[in-house]
Amino acid sequence: MSHIRHESIAPTSSRRLPSGGAIDAHRHDDHQIVYAGRGVLAVTTDAGSWVAPGTRAIWVPAGIVHAHRAHGELELHLVGLPAAVNPLGLDAPTVLAVDPLLRELIVAYTRAPDDDSPERTRLRAVLLDRLRASPQEPLHLPTPATPLLRTLCAVLLADPADPRTLAELGSQVGASDRTLSRLFRSDLGMTFPQWRTQLRLQHALVLLAEQEPVTAVAHRCGWSSASAFIDVFRRTFGHTPGSHAKG
């Protein structure tokens, strides 16, 4: 990432970003919890991308160079925490589940005056307690390091609905499905079907934030039917894409 800004103090604030709006690559000396109260947020680093709807937040550790992008009208909440405060012991960006109580705590904390009042101290203590109880979610789309996988993944990033098998895609990039399958595991730590599902789910979140109908999202992301898409979405996020779009 070029033109990296260094933020010496991780801001705690709330702000709005228009759909397609972005915060360019930067880093903080402190940790940051990034949460979209409305819309869908994408956080990108050299290691990959994380996409979170309103039921998820993204933990960004201190020093990690990252950029933000808004999908849909974004209500962005940023919680900065000193580098010494790492309630989950995480050293890489991670998606965390956000229940209704944690959501309200994040919103209240980012909208309250940034001072050292006893009330704010207590609010942060409860927020950290809830954060420690938040399940981590495997919603990371890693970026491949090997040129061969980069070429293949670029094909699917351009068209997540591409229905071809790994063997058929291998014919295009000049490698066997066995070689590619091994590379997915060694380079990305997941299987090809797992990676493609992550890609399609991320793309679905973006399209839903842009108010695309559920059936159209299913087909544009490569599911054979709306019901198949709804099933995978519900198992991943805990609610249907229809209720997500209304939220």
pTM given for the model: 0.82
Q: What pLDDT does residue 174 have?
A: 94
Q: Could you tell me which of 136, 132, 54 has the C-alpha nearest to residue 94?
A: 136
The verdict on 207 and 240 lying in the same domain is: yes
Q: How many domains does the chain have?
A: 2
Three-state DSSP state, 55: coil
The verdict on 27 and 119 lying in the same domain is: yes
The verdict on 61 and 121 lying in the same domain is: yes
Strands (E), the chain: 5-7, 13-17, 22-28, 31-45, 48-52, 56-60, 66-81, 94-97, 136-137, 140-142
What CATH number did the domain enclosing 148 receive? 1.10.10.60
Q: What pLDDT does residue 212 have?
A: 92
Those residues of the chain that have pLDDT short of 50 are: 1-2, 8-10, 247
Q: Which domain holds residue 103?
A: 5-140
Q: What pLDDT does residue 9 have?
A: 43
φ and ψ at residue 206, rounded to 5 degrees: -65, -45
What CATH number did the domain enclosing 111 receive? 2.60.120.810
The verdict on 38 and 106 lying in the same domain is: yes
CB environment 43-64: b (16+ within 10 A), e (fewer): bbbebbbbbbbbbbbbbbbbeb
Q: What pLDDT does residue 195 have?
A: 96
Q: What pLDDT does residue 8 have?
A: 43
The verdict on 93 and 172 lying in the same domain is: no
The verdict on 47 and 149 lying in the same domain is: no
The verdict on 21 and 73 lying in the same domain is: yes
In degrees, rounded to 5, the angle at the alpha carbon of residue 130 between the alpha carbons of residues 126 and 134 is 165
Tell me how far apart the alpha carbons of residues 62 and 30 are, in angstroms, rounded to a whole number: 5
Q: How far is CA 43 from the centre of its chain?
A: 6
Q: Which residues contact 122 (CB under 8 A, 6 or more apart)?
A: none
Q: How far is CA 209 from the centre of its chain?
A: 13
Q: Enter the tokens of residue 65.
A: 């160079």
Q: What pLDDT does residue 244 have?
A: 60
Q: Could you tell me which of 75, 70, 74 has the C-alpha nearest to residue 23?
A: 70
**Distances in whole angstroms, Cα of residue 78 to Cα of each of 14, 74, 153, 173, 231:** 6, 12, 31, 41, 32
* Residue 40, burial from CB neighbour count under 10 angstroms (0-12, 13-18, 19+): buried
Residue with tokens 């595991």: 185
